[in-house]
Amino acid sequence: QVQLVESGGGVVQAGGSLRLSCAVSGRTFSTYYMGWFRQAPGKEREFVAAVKWSGGSTNYADSVKGRFTISRNNARNTVYLQMNSLRPEDTAVYYCATDRSFTIVRSGTALYWGQGTQVTVSS
């Protein structure tokens, strides 16, 4: 069993920054991928970014490229999402997820999910 716990959400003004954390516990594998997703009120959940535990290859949604950075600390079993130049449209509940392949994570059908953390960007 794998458990994911997000933290770091909050309220920030447009143009500000936040760093989200996703602490991972339980059985994981270096070949797994970690992903961040978000869901705004009345909208579908959407992919934000993904990283592979080993090797660190990353992938981003076009809407966050150049503003968000995903990274991982293998020693701490934690994945981060550094969010800069935040916009009101970034307001959402942010979730982390993990599974064995990028395709599965990217599709939003990962087996393991966290409970989410709220990010609110005021204009």
Compute CA distances 21 → 28, 42, 77, 121, whole Å.
17, 25, 10, 18
C-alpha to C-alpha distance for 78 and 30, rounded to whole angstroms: 13
pLDDT score of 11: 98
pLDDT digit string, tens, across residues 47-82: 999 999 887 789 999 999 999 999 999 889 999 999
Q: Which residue has the tokens 């592979």?
A: 52
Answer yes or no: is pLDDT of 93 > 80: yes
Both structure tokens of 53:
């535990």
Answer yes or no: is pLDDT of 99 > 90: yes
- Of the chain, the percentage scoring pLDDT greater than 70 comes to 100
∠29-110-7 over CA atoms, to 5°? 80
Answer yes or no: is pLDDT of 85 > 90: yes
Residue ranges of alpha helices (H) inside the chain are 102-106
∠108-55-17 over CA atoms, to 5°? 65
pLDDT range class, residue 100, cuts 50, 70, 90: very high
Q: What's the whole-number average pLDDT of the chain?
A: 94
C-alpha to C-alpha distance for 91 and 97, rounded to whole angstroms: 19
- Asked whether 32 and 100 are in contact (CB, 8 A), the reply is yes
Answer yes or no: is pLDDT of 95 > 80: yes
pLDDT digit string, tens, across residues 25-37: 987 777 799 999 9
